[in-house]
Every structure is written in C-alpha cells, then in structure tokens.
Amino acid sequence: METAIIIESLPKFLDGTLVTLQITVLSVILGFILSVPLSIMRVSKNPFIKTPVYCFNFYFRGTPLLVQIFLIYYGSGQFQSFLTDVGLWQFFREAYFCAVLSLTLNTAAYTSEIFRGGIQGVPVGEIEAARACGMSGTLLYRRIIMPAALRIAWPAYTNEVVFLLQASSLVSIITLMDITGVARVVSARSFAFYELFLTAAGIYLVLVYGVIFVFKRVEKRITAHLNPSMLTS
Amino acid sequence: MFTLQGYGPLLLKGAKLTIIVGAGAMVIAILLGLAAALCKLSRFKIPAMLAEVYTTVIRGIPELVLILLVYYGAPTLIQDFATFLGKEIYVEIKPMAAGILTIGFIYGAFATEVFRGAFLAVPKGQIEAAHACGMGPVLTFRRILLPQMWRFAIPGLGNVWMVLIKATALVSVIQLPELMRNTDLAARNIHKPFTCYFAASLLYLAITIFSLVFQQWAEKKANRGVRRES
C-alpha cells in the first residue's frame, strides 16, 4: 500500500470533492425547482397536462443516467450547426453544463414522482378545511398542499438526494474532475489503483452520511409539531 | 436521420449481454441478500454486525467507484499482497466477471433490506405454529418462512432489478461489449451520436416495460392465495 500517493493527491481530491458538491448542489436545487410544477401537473386531471409529464418521467426513470448524459453531451454534437445558429452551442460544448443539465432532468423526473406521492398523501380533510376557509388555486397549494406534501415526501427525497450525489460520479466519464475523475486520472498515472479508489470511496461515504445526517435534522425540524417529545425539551 | 446504418444488430447483441449481466448480477444479489438478511435477523452479534457494515458501506459508495475498484484495484491488491508474502503473481479479472460480481455485490445490499422487511412481514403466529408442530429452525425457515416471504419481497425485488439493469450500463467503462459499449462503437463509426444513444435508450426502455409487466404478473401469482376483501 502506497500511502504516499494518497497523501500526495489529497489536495486534488479536495478539488474533486468541491466539483462533486458543486454539481450535486446545483442539480438538486434546479431539479427541485423543476419538480414542484412537474409534480403539480402530474396530479392534474387534464390528460393534456398530465400525459407529457408522465412520459417525461417514464423516459428519464426508465433509462440509465449514463445514456442520458451521453445523449446530451455527445448527442448534441449531431445538431451542432442548429445549436450554433440559436446560440446554445457554447453551452452544450461544455461538459460541465451537460453534466448539470442531465443530472437536473434526471432528478427532476424522480423527485416529481416522489412529490406526486406526497401530494396524493395529503389528508383530504386538510384540503377541504382550506377550501372552507376560502383558499383555492395557488394559495391552497402554497399554504396547505405543498408544505404538507413536502413533509410526507421528505424521507424519500432524502434518498433521492443521496442517489444523486452518488450518480454525480458518472460525470467523470465525460472528462470532469470530480472525486471519481481525480481517482481515475491519478491512478492511471501511478498504478496505485486500490489505494486511490478506496480513498474516493471513503470520501463518498463521509459525504453520503453527512447528507443523511443533515436531512434527518431537517426532517425533525419540519415534523416537530407531530413529535410530542420535542415539546418538553 | 433515424437509421442506424446497419448497426442495429450490434445494439441488439449488446442488449442481450446487458440482460445476461443483469440476470447474473440479480442471482448473486438475491443469494447475498438472503444470506445478509438472515445474518441481520439472527441472534448472533458478529454476523449481524458484519451484515450491517456490508449494507451501510455499500449503500454509501457510488457503483462506478466500486466497479473501478474491483476491476482495476482488486488485481493489484492481490498482487501486492502476494509480493508481501514473497511471491510474484499476475492477476487479471475479466470484465464480465468483474461486472457481474460487483453489480451483484452492490445490489445484494439493497436486496438485504428488501428480504429483511419481507421476513419480518410474515406473521409471527405462523412461526409459533411451526414451532408448536415440532419444526426446528431450519425446517421452519424452509417450509414456512421462505415460501411465504416472497409475496412481500417481490415489489421490492422488482425495484432492485429496475435499478440494477440500468446500472449495468456502467460496466461499459470496463470495456464489456454490452449495450452501452456497442452503442459507443456505433456512434463513433457513423458519426450520429444522438441517433445511436437514443436507440439505446429505447432498448433500455423496452427492457424496463417488459420488466414492469413481468413484475405485475409475478405479484399476481404470488398473491393468488390471499383472500381479497371486495
């Protein structure tokens, strides 16, 4: 075991960790923003609103993330002249942009299905009470349904964020230097394969259980009113 | 635009290997999951702890890192260990074996949780009744627990399979000629990356749809003995 290489490459791993976190946080935030309207459309009774979202979710949940990344990163090359004309090629040329875009679309599909479950899990009585108070439309969603749905969906959403953090390792395949990318490049040069991949695995473990810890704290916070034991403390 | 210029059969051949790798990995995942679930539920501390460590660690590491760790890391680790013992050996793991073993090993951790839940879902009275009839632990497991827990395990196992078959795409990074790798080749040769990857995505989608239908059938079959309130 060559511990020297591990220590030597720690600064690179730190940079890689920052890239991993950046990409994950960006995709989580953008995915969340996308998935809220998507989930509301998904529970609509109008088939013209419901079906496109259903198809989008089915496609992105039914195909591997790697295919989606390649479809956007390499596939956009097939439309280079068109994308140049509309001024988008400068974005699609960048691996970073394509990585964030594909991770965002992927997590939006999974998250909107999770939120759909949350919305459908909101007790009917709460919605009726809100309507009786005169709320409807946006106000009803903003004040009553979405907060309640988010509480119900939170544990599943935690899992999705953890999966996204791990899935972000795939961006190393399209040349980005995240944690996995650093491990791959450094090990290819030094032949210290297991040392470096074990280091990468260790960093991911810390990040994953860190995310779980934070999300569990938030869960306690947002469900505090359902937990009488917190009243005494 | 949407022709594969004769590369269709190559993609189908890749899809076949994808399914073989997926099925092989699923068998390993189920066997490992059963074993680890029994360890977790056992009275003995050490196996329970080992199973806990297994599921905790595996679920916290990306599949890609584990695949690279096994394919590139395991041979050098064994070689270093052999050198340490004073022997020079050369070890190489075939991509196929590395892919099936790693993916099976990873999803075994997810299957463990499914089986644990399923074993716990079998009513306690059933087991007490089996003991009362004089069955020992092994016989109770084989005759009572194992046949009845599948009903609870199938939905969870279906989910594991869906995620697993998509994870096989990652094996393409270790050059196994499955669907993703062959699509890569086709895309490079005909310079139509979008067309090729889109075709591949539709093949994956077809596998997913087929799996969903199969899962529904399996659930129906497993629940055929359950009385439904109507």
**What is the DSSP code string of B132-193?**
HTT--HHHHIIIIIHHHHHHHHHHHHHHHHHHHHHHGGGGGGGT--SHHHHHHHHHHHHT-H
Task: Give the chain A residue nearest B197 (alpha carbons).
Answer: A71
pLDDT in tens, B202-218: 999 999 999 999 999 99
Tokens encoding B36: 């680890």
Closest partner CB to B195 (pick from A78, A173, A208)? A78
Residue B79 and residue B82: Cα distance in Å, rounded?
Answer: 5
Which residue among B73, B170, B201 places its CB closest to the CB of A194?
Answer: B73
What is residue A109's DSSP assignment?
A: H
pLDDT of residue A230: 63
Span B103-124, average pLDDT:
94
Q: In a 10 Å sphere around its CB, with 0-12 CB exposed, 13-18 middle and 19+ buried, how is residue B149 labelled? A: buried
Closest Cβ opposite residue B204 in set A62, A166, A192: A62
Q: Is A67 in Cβ contact with B169 (below 8 Å)?
A: yes
Give residue-wise pLDDT tens across range A138-195. 999 999 999 999 999 999 999 999 999 999 999 999 999 999 999 999 999 888 899 9
Q: Count interface pairs A-B at CB distance under 8 A.
A: 120
Q: How far from the centroid of its chain's Cα atoms is residue A157's Cα?
A: 9
**With left for phi above 0 and alpha for psi between -120 and 50, is residue B227 left, alpha or beta?**
beta
Cβ A197–B73 below 8 Å, yes or no?
A: yes
Cβ-proximal residues to B115 (8 Å cutoff; 6+ apart), any chain: B33, B34, B36, B37, B149, B153
Nearest chain A residue to B165 by CA distance is A64
Q: Which residues of chain A have pLDDT under 50?
A: none
Q: What is the per-residue pLDDT for B90?
A: 83
- CB contact at 8 A, B207 and B165: yes
With an 8 Å Cβ cutoff, is A230 touching chain B? no
> Which of B168, B172, B171, B157 shows the shortest CA–CA distance to B211?
B157
Residue-wise pLDDT for B6-54, tens only, equals: 888 899 999 999 999 999 999 999 999 999 999 999 889 999 999 999 9
CATH classification (class only), B9-222? mainly alpha
Nearest by CB: B169 against A58, A64, A180: A64
Q: What is the Cα–Cα distance from A2 to B84, expressed in whole angstroms?
A: 13
Give the per-residue pLDDT at A137.
Answer: 85
Q: What is the distance between the alpha carbons of residues A102 and A13, in angstroms, rounded to a whole number?
A: 24
Q: Which of A23, A78, A114, A196 to mutate to test the interface with B (most CBs of B within 10 A)?
A: A78
pLDDT at res. A218? 94
Percent of chain B with pLDDT over 90: 69
Q: How many CB atoms lie within 10 A of CB B86?
A: 6
Class of domain A3-223: mainly alpha
Q: Do the chains contact at B166 and A77, CB–CB below 8 Å? A: no
Q: Which of A67, A68, A76, A176 to mutate: most B Cβ within 10 Å?
A: A67
Residue of chain B minimizing CA distance to A159: B59
- Inter-chain touch A204–B193, beta carbons under 8 Å: no
Q: What's the CA gap between B54 and B61, in Å, rounded?
A: 11
Nearest CA in chain B to A183: B65
Residues of B with CB under 8 A from a CB of A: 57, 59-66, 68-69, 72-74, 76-77, 80, 166-170, 172-173, 180, 183-184, 187, 191-195, 197-198, 200-201, 204-205, 208-209
Question: Residue A71: which of B61, B167, B197 has the nearest Cβ?
Answer: B197
Give me the mean pLDDT over the B55-72 stretch: 94
